[in-house]
Amino acid sequence: MREEDTVCVGSDGLQYCKVCGEAKEAFFPEGGFMEMKKHSRQCACDRKTYEEEQKYFKDKEYQELVSRNTSICFDESRMEEWTFENADMSDAVMHKAKSYVDNWEEMKRNHIGCLFWGPVGTGKSYIAGCIANELLKQEVTVKMTNFNTIIDDIFPLADKMEYINALALYQLLIIDDLGVERNSEYALGIIFSVIDRRIRSGRPLIITTNLPLKEIKSETMLDKRRIYDRILEMCTPMYVGGTSKREAIASMKMGKRKPC
């Protein structure tokens, strides 16, 4: 629609919007401004269009930020589907995980982390992923990784501390599957450096592990003992039990297969 089709001139000589009826011009105070008597102004339609444009660009900027942070957070795209919306919220630990997110500012302020421990396949990684995805939507920077990846990434680097310091900058760091990595002196040294630097940063840490809590607390090997002590300083242990979800999914798939 052409502008002249939506504008008319009132008896006062000002232009008016035919749609909303508001003036699209206004008079300067007495004396004018640089010999001009009138200046343009936004009518209700103009203001609505402007607000819609601002919202569009703000939403677009938000979506791009979350998308970028999400791609940085996860190594596998399937983890982006690990959300509370897709979870069984009747599960007690899942409910606690949601509470952790709901109270994120307090968790962050008091440097409170979580240690999700329990048997293989019970959903510990999924729970951590739900926390990550929910916080990513709140524009929190999160990194979810594991020590095998960290050790492989660090190995060829000349400045290993630069990488470790970068991990400490994320508002939340999630280390998945603690205990499956190599037990060499070099690997344990890297693990301790990452954990220690993270704790000294004062930012929360979440760990998932298949290791029994009793084993973590009673570890006698000095290098591991140092690591576990640092983790327990910051992370509240939460047991994730139940039947293996992986086995349940496998059984369901087997049940759907047609006999040969």
pLDDT along the chain (260 residues), means of 10: 78 91 87 72 94 95 97 96 94 96 98 97 96 98 97 96 98 96 91 97 98 96 96 97 60 48
Identify whether 244 is part of a domain.
Answer: yes
Which structural domain, as residue segments, surrounds residue 160?
A: 74-249
Identify whether 90 is part of a domain.
Answer: yes
Identify whether 60 is part of a domain.
Answer: no
Identify whether 25 is part of a domain.
Answer: no
Beta strands at 15-17 and 7-9: parallel, antiparallel or unpaired: antiparallel
C-beta separation of 112 from 101 below 8 A: no
C-beta separation of 15 from 24 below 8 A: yes
Q: What's residue 181's pLDDT?
A: 83
Q: What's residue 30's pLDDT?
A: 72
DSSP output for 147-212? HHHHHHHHTT-S-HHHHHHHHHHSSEEEEEEETSS--SHHHHHHHHHHHHHHHHHT--EEEEESS-
pLDDT in tens, 179-234: 988 889 999 999 999 999 999 999 999 999 999 999 999 999 999 999 999 999 99
Identify whether 256 is part of a domain.
Answer: no
CATH code, domain with 193 = 3.40.50.300
Q: What's residue 37's pLDDT?
A: 82
Query: How much of the chain exceeds pLDDT 70, in percent?
Result: 90
Identify whether 238 is part of a domain.
Answer: yes
pLDDT in tens, 232-243: 999 999 999 976
Identify whether 219 is part of a domain.
Answer: yes
Count of domains for the chain:
1
Q: With 0.85 as the threshold, say if the pTM is over it.
A: no
Give the tokens for residue 19. 């749609």
Identify whether 29 is part of a domain.
Answer: no
In the three-class reduction of DSSP (H, G, I as helix; E, B as strand; rest coil), residue 21 is classed as: coil
Q: What's residue 46's pLDDT?
A: 93
CA-CA distances (angstroms) from residue 222 to 55, 79, 218, 225, 227? 56, 34, 11, 5, 9
